[in-house]
Amino acid sequence: MQRVAKSEETRSLIVTTAMRLFTENGYNRTTMRAIAAEAGVSVGNAYYYFSSKEQLVQGFYDEMAGRHLAAARPLLDGEAGFAARLRAVLLCWLDVAEPYHRFGTQFFVNAADPESPLSPFSDDSSAAREASIGLMREVVEGSDVKLDPELRAQLPELLWLYQMGVVLFWVHDRSAGTQRSRMLVERSVPLLARLAALSRLRVFRPVSREIVGLIQDLAKRD
């Protein structure tokens, strides 16, 4: 076994152990000492591989995003309705995230920090963000929805923002099985779909254009 393989093994052991303990006891109640002890390494060693406790979480994010993508894509096959596709993707996220709601809360708190690399808007997260926006692009492009072309181009990014809103709600959701988040999706998706359809009406066109323009300008450097 080469040097690099051993190293990778240690790294993976640490992150796996951390995720288990986070899930079992919550983020705050899991100490770095506990993680190190449970993984059979020293505290300093954990910091050799991960620059901070927060950093340990990044790997977890990526895994969850990956699982969402994998689980969501099959749901899109053979479904052409825009609302149905969007609904499927979002409910699927709620399913994937469900087991982690308890401590996921803590994660997203860290993520709210604009300085944090965990922020969904940060450079470090750009890969994951692009992947999520890509999924939304599939939602739009695989559907039969009729849209103003400019809106169509911008819609994936808008939908991603909307998804961030759903996540924010989910974090605050204390209902059993996060039903309220599900209700939010069930009821807001048709609304969005209807709004998107309305966007082709003449009276609505200037508003729609201005929304697209605003988002484009705001996205320029943020």
Partner DNA sequence: CCTCCTTCTTGAACACGTTCAAATCCAGGA
Partner DNA sequence: TCCTGGATTTGAACGTGTTCAAGAAGGAGG
Residues that bind DNA (CB under 7 A): 1-4, 6-7, 10, 30-33, 41-45, 47-49, 51-54
| One residue of 9, 33, 198, 216 binding a copy of itself per CB under 8 A | 198
Closer by beta carbon to a copy of itself, 17 or else 116: 116
Say which entry of DNA, a copy of itself, none residue 191 contacts (CB below 5 to 8 A, set by partner kind). a copy of itself
Say which entry of DNA, a copy of itself, none residue 31 contacts (CB below 5 to 8 A, set by partner kind). DNA
Say which entry of DNA, a copy of itself, none residue 127 contacts (CB below 5 to 8 A, set by partner kind). none
Q: Which residue has the tokens 């300093």?
A: 44
Closer by beta carbon to a copy of itself, 49 or else 204: 204
Candidates 7-15, 79-87, 134-142, 166-174: pick the segment binding a copy of itself (CB under 8 A).
166-174
Q: Is 191 in the site for a copy of itself (CB under 8 A)?
A: yes
Binding mask 56-95 for a copy of itself (x = CB under 8 A): ----------------------------------------
| One residue of 1, 5, 78, 114 binding a copy of itself per CB under 8 A | 114
Give the separation between CA 170 and CA 91, rounded to whole angstroms.
11
CB of 29 to a copy of itself, least distance (A): 13
Give the separation between CA 139 and CA 121, rounded to whole angstroms.
21
Q: Please list, in sequence order, all residues whose beta carbon lies within 8 angstroms of the beta carbon of residue 73, skipping any fewer than 6 positions away.
A: 135, 138
